[in-house]
Amino acid sequence: MPIRLAHAPLEKDAKLECVSYAPFRDGQSPLVKGTEIPPEQIAQDFAQLAKISKCVRTYSVQNGLDKAPELARKAGLKLLLGIWLGGNRVDNQNEIITASELAKAYPDVISGIVVGNEVLLRGEMTAADLAATIRQVKARVKVPVTYADVWEYWLRNRAIYDAVDFVTIHILPYWEDLPIPARYAATHVDTIRKRVAVAFPGKEILIGETGWPSMGRMREGALPSRANQARVVSEILQLAKREHFRVNLIEAYDQPWKRRLEGTVGGYWGLFDARTRALKYPIGQPIINFPLWKQEMAAGMGLSVLIFAVALWRARRRPWAPRLVWWLGVFLSATVAGCLLGVAYDKMIHESLGVGGWLRWGALLAAGVLAPLLSASALMSGRPLPTFLDLIGPRGSRVTMLPHILLGLTLAVTTVIAAETALGFVFDPRYRDFPFASLTMAVVPFWTLMMFNRPRDGARPIAEAVFAALLAMSAIFIAFNEGPRNWQAMWSCAIYLLLAVTLWRARAVQSRG
């Protein structure tokens, strides 16, 4: 449903103080050596950003950004020029020389220089080396000089305070060690800003990065979404206006390349969409988490109708009347699939990265569509859920009917992807997305088929038992690790457990046909 806010994120005729800018579009990345962004592309972006902001903050003078001051002057923008520092001293010196020359050539454009971004957080420089570098830059330029890092690192490295002209802190409620829900994000920003101001009196405290992601996985109670992003941005801007402090939002445009470093959530902090270059929150229009919700709802309804049609077609081909619980299973599968198809599709579009990612989430969505259709047919035929032995066991015991083979393959694909994602959340969870929508679409039909058409005898297959144990143990660990406020994690764990129960109750009985 569309959502309206008390205050629009960007108000008519008002401009932001500043916004972080990286020039990379889809297919471009600073991680690829030699990437050079053409001036025309930066000029297009600056012309657009000049309509909503007074200033842009850059992070480097490489990749074509040495042209940023000239292009910012033409667009009527001020520039908070960034010097990228890392572990390579030669690269650092090249950045310093270029930035210093630009500051001398464009004093009317460059309002300040940010010497290093989160280099202490990354552990690539010591505080003493950083302070010396900041003083080196100050000796070369006449504009104010600062350093930018997460607020905790300022409190841990107070010596940097003496070297800078003003303090630039990053406050990202989503990324805090204890994630802050969107409804408390602005209050958290205000609290931290005042805390840092007490620790460092006498100098301006600039919030150099703050914002919220519009897509990605939950962290405890912190949910990325378009509506939450708009809410957080709106409330922080209103707070800054009331309390008269400067804030730089992260960031101007979504940056797809960041997903390789930070997962899906890393690529969706922008005010503008990366592909369309359109503002996510046009002034005066309601915010919609799922812009294609009408089409997705229609597709979901169509899938539900198709599931019932398959069940009715199969029921009419049998000489006996279908049991009531079979129709209950079909109803449950069709309802779940219809309600979640749009969500599953949206997650696949936004969360798939690289060939492997598209194959994984595409296969899981296909399983989510096929499982209720094939399970409805099996239910009405009185057939049980096939086991893995039905597919790969001794030749004489394998199933031969195409619908049952497809059902078994769909179950196998779902199980393998479920196990892979569950283990991922156990061993490397920070940037992984929860596959709750597509997984639910696939698992619920399997569970109904197991419940209503389960064989009364037969041995428990070893493969199913192993997968069931793995999924159950992983789900328990994930639930404990992610916390009860993360409903995406709790939902995913519930589906892992439901699949574990389904596999555990499987029985190896030869299917006829």
157-189 pLDDT tens trace = 988 999 999 999 999 999 999 999 999 999 999
Percent of the chain with pLDDT over 70: 96
DSSP letter at 295 equals H
Distance CA 57, CA 113 (A): 9
Share of the chain above pLDDT 90, in %: 82
At 8 the pLDDT is 61
Cis preceding linkage at 70, omega within 30: no
Tell me which residue of 182, 349, 214, 347 sits closest to 279, measured CA to CA.
214
**471-to-360, 426, 476, 491 alpha-carbon distances in Å:** 18, 11, 9, 14
Domain definitions of the chain by residue range = 18-267, 294-504
d(CA 21, CA 41) in angstroms, rounded, equals: 13
Distance CA 448, CA 305 (A): 18
Q: What is the pLDDT, as a whole number, of residue 512?
A: 43
Compute the mean pLDDT over every residue in the chain, rounded to the nearest whole number: 93
| DSSP H or E stretch at residue 145 | strand 145-150
Picking from 370, 495, 480, the residue whose alpha carbon sits closest to that of residue 421 is 495
Q: Would you say 118 and 149 are in contact if contact means Cβ atoms under 8 Å apart?
A: yes
**What is d(CA 89, CA 102) in angstroms, rounded to the nearest whole number?**
20
What CA–CA distances, in Å, run from 99 to 22, 23, 45, 77, 164? 16, 17, 21, 17, 16
Measure the CA angle with vertex 179, ends 289 and 353; round to 5°. Answer: 50
- Between CA 375 and CA 387 the distance in angstroms is 14
Cβ-contact 407, 375 below 8 angstroms: yes
End-to-end Cα spacing for the chain: 47
Determine if residue 458 is left, alpha or beta; phi over 0 gives left, psi from -120 to 50 gives alpha, anything else beta.
Answer: left
Residue 48 CA, distance from chain mean position: 25
CATH superfamily of 18-267: Glycosidases (3.20.20.80)
Question: What is the model's pLDDT at position 192?
Answer: 97
pLDDT at 292: 87
> Between 327 and 457, whose confidence is greater?
327
The lowest-confidence range among 134-138, 248-252, 460-464 is 460-464
- Quick check: 132 pLDDT over 80? yes
pLDDT value at residue 511:
44
Alpha-carbon gap, residue 3 to 5, rounded angstroms: 7
C-alpha to C-alpha distance for 299 and 341, rounded to whole angstroms:
7
Count of H helices and E strands in the chain?
17, 8
- Residue 460: what pLDDT? 81
CA 459 vs CA 148, 456, 509: distances in Å: 63, 10, 8
- Under a CB-based contact definition with an 8 Å cutoff, are residues 445 and 326 in contact? no
CA distance 64 to 161: 31
Report the distance separating Cα 510 and Cα 513, nearest Å.
Answer: 9
Per-residue pLDDT at 2: 57
pLDDT recorded at residue 397: 64
Q: How far is CA 187 from CA 18, 150, 183, 250, in A?
A: 20, 17, 8, 18
